Amino acid sequence: MTIQRAVARITCRNAPGIVACVARSLAAAGFDIRDSQQFEDVESDRFFMRVDFQGEARSRDEIARTLAECVDRFDMTIDLALRDRPKRVLLLASRTDHCLIDLIHRWRDGELVMEPIAIVSNHPHPGGSGGMLHGLPFHHLPVTPATRDAQEEAILHIAEAEGADLVVLARYMQILSDRMAAALAGRCINIHHSFLPGFKGARPYHQAHARGVKMIGATAHYVTADLDEGPIIAQDVTPITHADDPAELIRKGRDIERRVLARALRLDLEGRVLVNGSRTVIFQS
Amino acid sequence: MTIQRAVARITCRNAPGIVACVARSLAAAGFDIRDSQQFEDVESDRFFMRVDFQGEARSRDEIARTLAECVDRFDMTIDLALRDRPKRVLLLASRTDHCLIDLIHRWRDGELVMEPIAIVSNHPHPGGSGGMLHGLPFHHLPVTPATRDAQEEAILHIAEAEGADLVVLARYMQILSDRMAAALAGRCINIHHSFLPGFKGARPYHQAHARGVKMIGATAHYVTADLDEGPIIAQDVTPITHADDPAELIRKGRDIERRVLARALRLDLEGRVLVNGSRTVIFQS
Amino acid sequence: MTIQRAVARITCRNAPGIVACVARSLAAAGFDIRDSQQFEDVESDRFFMRVDFQGEARSRDEIARTLAECVDRFDMTIDLALRDRPKRVLLLASRTDHCLIDLIHRWRDGELVMEPIAIVSNHPHPGGSGGMLHGLPFHHLPVTPATRDAQEEAILHIAEAEGADLVVLARYMQILSDRMAAALAGRCINIHHSFLPGFKGARPYHQAHARGVKMIGATAHYVTADLDEGPIIAQDVTPITHADDPAELIRKGRDIERRVLARALRLDLEGRVLVNGSRTVIFQS
Amino acid sequence: MTIQRAVARITCRNAPGIVACVARSLAAAGFDIRDSQQFEDVESDRFFMRVDFQGEARSRDEIARTLAECVDRFDMTIDLALRDRPKRVLLLASRTDHCLIDLIHRWRDGELVMEPIAIVSNHPHPGGSGGMLHGLPFHHLPVTPATRDAQEEAILHIAEAEGADLVVLARYMQILSDRMAAALAGRCINIHHSFLPGFKGARPYHQAHARGVKMIGATAHYVTADLDEGPIIAQDVTPITHADDPAELIRKGRDIERRVLARALRLDLEGRVLVNGSRTVIFQS
């Protein structure tokens, strides 16, 4: 038996006694709660909880059994993640690689605890998988309207073959088919280069310039079939001026895109995000 | 003759030699340039300039004549403001008075250099013009759909009678008629309680909550006939969480609304805003 | 019996089972946990918890008894606050009243849930307790080096006579005597007009200007005998430029001072601050 | 003759007519002013100006002669930079390479217009000059207290041999000798990992944690013999919480360090920074 550290994300209908049930069950099985946060959504009458705990356990199943009584009693949905088994992540990119490179460096520096399994891009990358991409497997899968189905199939094949827990669209710039979006539902994060819901669709920086806004932003969200409408994980903005043309907005935007995507990915990897319909509950550290 | 301090806001078609013409003309007349900023809009081929200068002059006309040659040569539009003649401002408010009170205190503390001529509200204010409103004339002009025309007429009458240079909608919450919007065009600032262009229209905080955004904002803009579409002067945002219900968003929003409206008003009062079609050029200090 | 809503702030030595004990005890007594947050400080080996719960109870004592077993077992220090008994707050101000006025309006707008019992200032206020001060009792207690002891005695007398739970130095600008600081220890919040630990002491905006920093800030902290060294509750900054002279810094600083003091006061009033030696644990909503 | 784009940074004693002289001289020689900003420092009675202009010219000298009359008349110091001759930059780094890698990518993406001539580090870099370092010459110059003089000599030698206009300490982590600091005075930018003047000296994140501040920051400044006291170019902060231990502060700090150093470097490369004693004048775009 070894010390296991686990995070349980729990959702169920709101009711009295949930926190007590979880705390008592974990304590009875010898687990110590390191952190615990919860939220009642009065509107939807749903309850959300994140419990970070540790203790001796032989297996994931043994940990799961600890909470079985609460699960039954409150009809809970539980997602259980073990710290020594980081998520396996597939990275999708396109010509602009600033988000991709940023995520790779944050992973290398220990800020993002994940297992990047491969990179897929519809553009070749200078140097292939070497150098900047830290030797990660690199798949160049070009795409045209005519070949999109086959290309998406190839991406899904890589995701399945490598056991991807999460797919990150690091400025992938391709609109996913409904089939692809459905196949990745709940385990795919996208970065949109606007402060949603403003400037949906194509060329948001040009839209922002035309409207004359004084700040631009970026939004990281889970992908759903409904483009730019998925549950938002993180957003941020930066001030701009009348003197910034669209090219300058694109440059200033790169900084926010990097930051917002990295923040959203980190929140997901640490099990801090719970989806609540079209919104998210975020348990900050 | 006394020392006069003036700010000229200049717009014309772009051309070489504009800055030199203005600088030379002012120098020749004995004026010293304290600050000068300009911007060329490549897209519209327009030139924008703000010159802050001082020197001995008998009258506003004398100052204006100094720049007459440049005006002719470059077909300039010039707005000339003298520092010892602050703008006369009419404040419009409604039931929620946090923006109104904030503006009054900033004026009292010397942060907003203006002459508030009166307050109009469609709701009575506790204590009338006394106390919180610092003795400023207070007009309670209630409004219903049936009486809107007459009420707007009464407001315009006050504006005219008192020589208002600027009308500030400090959370006035009434949709102006097209006629009213036209009458105030170019001299009316509104604060909208969302980060435009997101969440136009009514109840933006409720919209923001429903969409699950992670930041809310406020936008100060000049009023045009097209609601929520006028040239933007200032914007800001503040982070929110899943735990914030619409009531809490309204509370958090009050802080941003106050700040953004005060910033926009100050920029206008200091002659730092030039309208460029549906956008603005802002010359920061 | 009526429904009571309470917040318990708990500190004790770290140990396994604390969360479970609290949750079980409250559940057994029929209380429902609305929110619960905890933090283990590995360095000091201390445990901090905030539990927001509700249920039927006859009295504060009855609620306290619910947790008696945990208190004994873990040697806890507990502070228990009932929602229907807001803190009684004494406000101290000086010539500049922007923080004072701001707090009063936030209280009036329902943002700060407290009972302001009186205002003390070493300067008279225009209009006395009327108007801007919303009729709150106003005590003008001027002070000179020679009369400081007596003046502080008078302030403490008001605090005691009115049962003040908290004293807020809303830009009070007087250095408290050690005796006064000791008398108010743990229940007095000050706003310092710099981003501590930078620019301690007098005239921080002048110091900031002289050093050429690019941002100024404000810090709200609990008062201790050691000036400007008390546990920090909230801080914020705002960008400045080379063109801002000290007078402009003072103006820009007013906005941050207001915001930071209001935020710190709200955190305290909601029982979200726990002191951890010379630092604070803040449980955000 | 080709079209030249140039930026002149001008400082002199304050006097009436400076702007007019510069504008007239440039116009007379056929140059068009694209942007012009100025600042009068009332305290020091100094005048600062940045003029961005273009026109036909055979050489740098020809451009310089254009302003000769003004230089004489106002006893100006002028620094003239031509856009087609970007600064040559030597990058110094140490074990942590996040700032170094970030600058390289911003250069590669066109955000930083410079010529990086070489990288010097007192630690080897994985992969040498290949891959992550984009093939830039990489010099591994280890240093100990005993060898510091020789190592600094070697760095200065590289700077001289390659004609470095600017040296950037991208988290170089070594304290420069006074001799070295003097040799690089005015052309060396450092990033300090605290919000100066708070937490000078070693291990600022540990200091910040110990003090319990609620925000950490970074400061980019010109290097002077007086450590951590050089003129500040850029600063920024990020919020932290009680739950952040020093290791987490270091991680959060990396984001600000990158951003602040990149911003400062960009300002310098675009000729937007003028030193004013121990402070800087920054002409933002």
CA-angle at B91, arms to B88 and B92, nearest 5°: 150
Query: Between helices C18-28 and A18-28, what is the axis angle to 10°?
Result: 130
CB contact under 8 A, D37 and B37: yes
Instruction: Determine the Cα–Cα distance for residues C253 and C177; give it in Å rounded to an integer.
Output: 26
Chain D, residues 183-242, CB within 8 A of chain C, namely 195-199, 211-215, 217, 231-237, 241-242
A60-84: average pLDDT: 95
CB contact under 8 A, D24 and B19: no
Closest residue on chain C to B34 (Cα): C243
CB contact under 8 A, B278 and A237: no
- Residue D80, pLDDT > 70, answer yes
| DSSP per-residue codes, chain C | -EEEEEEEEEEEE--TTHHHHHHHHHHHTT-EEEEEEEEEETTTTEEEEEEEEEEEES-HHHHHHHTHHHHHHHT-EEEEEETTSPPEEEEEE-S--HHHHHHHHHHHTTSS--EEEEEEESS--TTTTSGGGTT--EEE----GGGHHHHHHHHHHHHHHTT-SEEEESS---PPPHHHHHHHTTSEEEEESS-TTTT-SS-HHHHHHHHT-SEEEEEEEE--SSTT-SPEEEEEEEE--TT--HHHHHHHHHHHHHHHHHHHHHHHHTT-EEEETTEEEE---
D243 at A interface, C-beta within 8 A: yes
pLDDT tens, D138-181? 999 999 999 999 999 999 999 999 999 999 999 998 889 999 99
Q: What is the mean pLDDT of chain A?
A: 93
D95 at A interface, C-beta within 8 A: no
| D252 pLDDT tier (thresholds 50, 70, 90) | very high
* A-to-C residue pairs, Cβ atoms closer than 8 angstroms: 49
CA C82, distance to chain mean position in Å, is 17
Q: Which residue type, as a one-letter code, is found at position D116?
A: P
Strands (E), chain B: 2-13, 32-41, 46-57, 77-82, 88-93, 115-121, 138-140, 166-169, 188-192, 215-222, 232-239, 273-276, 279-282
Residue C181: predicted pLDDT: 93
B-chain residues near D37 (CB < 8 A): 36-37
B27 at D interface, C-beta within 8 A: yes
In Å, how far are A277, B102, D33, D67 from D24, measured between CA atoms? 65, 45, 10, 10
Residue B129: predicted pLDDT: 62
In this structure, what DSSP letter does residue B87 have?
P
CB contact under 8 A, C211 and D278: yes
Minimal Cα–Cα distance from C66 to chain A, Å?
Answer: 14
Answer whether B10's CB lies under 8 Å from B77's CB: yes
- Best mutation target, C43, C206, C214, C236, to test chain D (most D CBs within 10 A): C214
Residue D195: predicted pLDDT: 93
Give the nearest partner residue to B281 out of A42, A217, A242, using CB atoms. A242
- Residue A239, pLDDT > 70, answer yes
Instruction: Determine the Cα–Cα distance for residues B262 and B104; give it in Å rounded to an integer.
Output: 10
CB contact under 8 A, B214 and A235: yes
In this structure, what DSSP letter does residue D122 have?
S
CB contact under 8 A, D19 and B17: no
B-chain residues near A282 (CB < 8 A): 214, 241-242
Selected catalytic residue, list A102, A149, A228, A244: A228
Minimal Cα–Cα distance from A223 to chain B, Å?
Answer: 15
Selected catalytic residue, list C41, C228, C244, C255: C228
Minimal Cα–Cα distance from B201 to chain C, Å?
Answer: 24
Residue A229: predicted pLDDT: 86
Average pLDDT for runs of 10 along chain B of length 285:
91 93 94 92 95 92 94 97 96 95 94 96 79 86 94 97 97 92 94 93 93 97 88 97 95 95 98 96 92
Residue C204: other Cβ atoms inside 10 A? 25
Q: Please state the three-class secondary structure of chain A as a single string.
A: CEEEEEEEEEEEECCCCHHHHHHHHHHHCCCEEEEEEEEEECCCCEEEEEEEEEEEECCHHHHHHHCHHHHHHHCCEEEEEECCCCCEEEEEECCCCHHHHHHHHHHHCCCCCCEEEEEEECCCCCCCCCHHHCCCCEEECCCCHHHHHHHHHHHHHHHHHCCCCEEEECCCCCCCCHHHHHHHCCCEEEEECCCCCCCCCCCHHHHHHHHCCCEEEEEEEECCCCCCCCCEEEEEEEECCCCCCHHHHHHHHHHHHHHHHHHHHHHHHCCCEEEECCEEEECCC
Phi, psi of B284 (to 5 degrees): -65, 155
Residue C2: predicted pLDDT: 83
A24 at C interface, C-beta within 8 A: yes
Answer whether B109's CB lies under 8 Å from C95's CB: no
CB contact under 8 A, D279 and C212: yes
| A40 pLDDT tier (thresholds 50, 70, 90) | very high
pLDDT tens, D89-127? 999 999 999 999 999 999 999 999 999 999 999 999 876
CB contact under 8 A, A20 and C34: no
Identify the three-state secondary structure at position D73: helix
- Residue D228, pLDDT > 90, answer no
C-chain residues near D195 (CB < 8 A): 195, 198, 215, 237
Closest residue on chain C to D194 (Cα): C198
Give the nearest partner residue to A105 out of D98, D109, D127, using CB atoms. D98
Token pair recorded at residue A179: 């089939």
A245 at B interface, C-beta within 8 A: yes
Closest residue on chain C to B100 (Cα): C105
Q: Which residue type, as a one-letter code, is found at position A236?
A: D
Residue from B39, B23, B111 nearest B275 by CA: B39
Answer whether B271's CB lies under 8 Å from B50's CB: yes
Q: Which residue type, as a one-letter code, is found at position A169?
A: L
Token pair recorded at residue B247: 């009531």
Give the nearest partner residue to A35 out of C23, C35, C38, using CB atoms. C38
Give yes or no for a cis peptide into A16 (omega within 30° of 0): no
- Residue A135, pLDDT > 90, answer no
D-chain residues near A105 (CB < 8 A): 98, 101
- Best mutation target, B52, B113, B132, B241, to test chain C (most C CBs within 10 A): B132
Sheet holding D46-57, edge to edge: D32-41, D46-57, D2-13, D77-82
In this structure, which long-range contacts are made by residues B184-189, counting pairs with CB atoms below 8 Å and at least 24 apart in sequence?
B184/B159, B184/B223, B185/B222, B185/B223, B185/B224, B185/B225, B186/B222, B186/B275, B188/B222, B188/B223, B189/B220, B189/B221, B189/B222, B189/B223, B189/B233, B189/B261, B189/B264, B189/B265, B189/B268
A-chain residues near B212 (CB < 8 A): 231-232, 276, 278-280
- Best mutation target, B97, B105, B125, B134, to test chain C (most C CBs within 10 A): B105
Residue D276: predicted pLDDT: 96
Query: Between helices A204-211 and A246-269, what is the axis angle to 10°?
Result: 120
CB contact under 8 A, B105 and C109: no
CB contact under 8 A, D245 and C212: no
Residue C127: predicted pLDDT: 64
CB contact under 8 A, A23 and C26: no
CB contact under 8 A, D23 and B23: yes
Residue C228 annotated as catalytic: yes
Minimal Cα–Cα distance from A185 to chain D, Å?
Answer: 30
| A29 pLDDT tier (thresholds 50, 70, 90) | very high
Residue B231: other Cβ atoms inside 10 A? 20
Instruction: Determine the Cα–Cα distance for residues B222 and B182; give it in Å rounded to an integer.
Output: 12
CB contact under 8 A, D196 and C195: no
- Best mutation target, C106, C132, C242, to test chain B (most B CBs within 10 A): C132
C-chain residues near D242 (CB < 8 A): 39, 41, 276, 279-282
D-chain residues near A285 (CB < 8 A): 241, 243
> Domains along chain A?
3-82 (3.30.70.260), 88-282 (3.40.50.170)
Residues 6+ apart with CB under 8 A from B142: B122, B123, B151
CB contact under 8 A, D242 and C214: no
C2 at A interface, C-beta within 8 A: no
Residue B135: predicted pLDDT: 86
Residue D106: predicted pLDDT: 95
Minimal Cα–Cα distance from A32 to chain C, Å?
Answer: 5
Token pair recorded at residue B68: 């007459």
CB contact under 8 A, C20 and A36: no
Query: Between helices C98-108 and B98-108, what is the axis angle to 10°?
Result: 170
Query: Against a cut of 0.90, is the pTM above it?
Result: yes
Give me the interface pTM, i.e. the ipTM: 0.93
Phi, psi of B188 (to 5 degrees): -145, 125
pLDDT tens, N- to C-terminus, chain C (285 residues): 688 999 999 999 999 889 999 999 999 999 999 999 999 999 999 999 999 999 998 889 999 999 999 999 999 999 999 999 999 999 999 999 999 999 999 999 999 999 999 999 999 987 666 667 888 999 999 999 999 999 999 999 999 999 999 999 999 988 899 999 999 988 999 999 999 999 998 899 999 999 999 999 999 999 998 878 899 999 999 999 999 999 999 999 999 999 999 999 999 999 999 999 999 999 998
Give the nearest partner residue to D214 out of C213, C235, C245, using CB atoms. C235
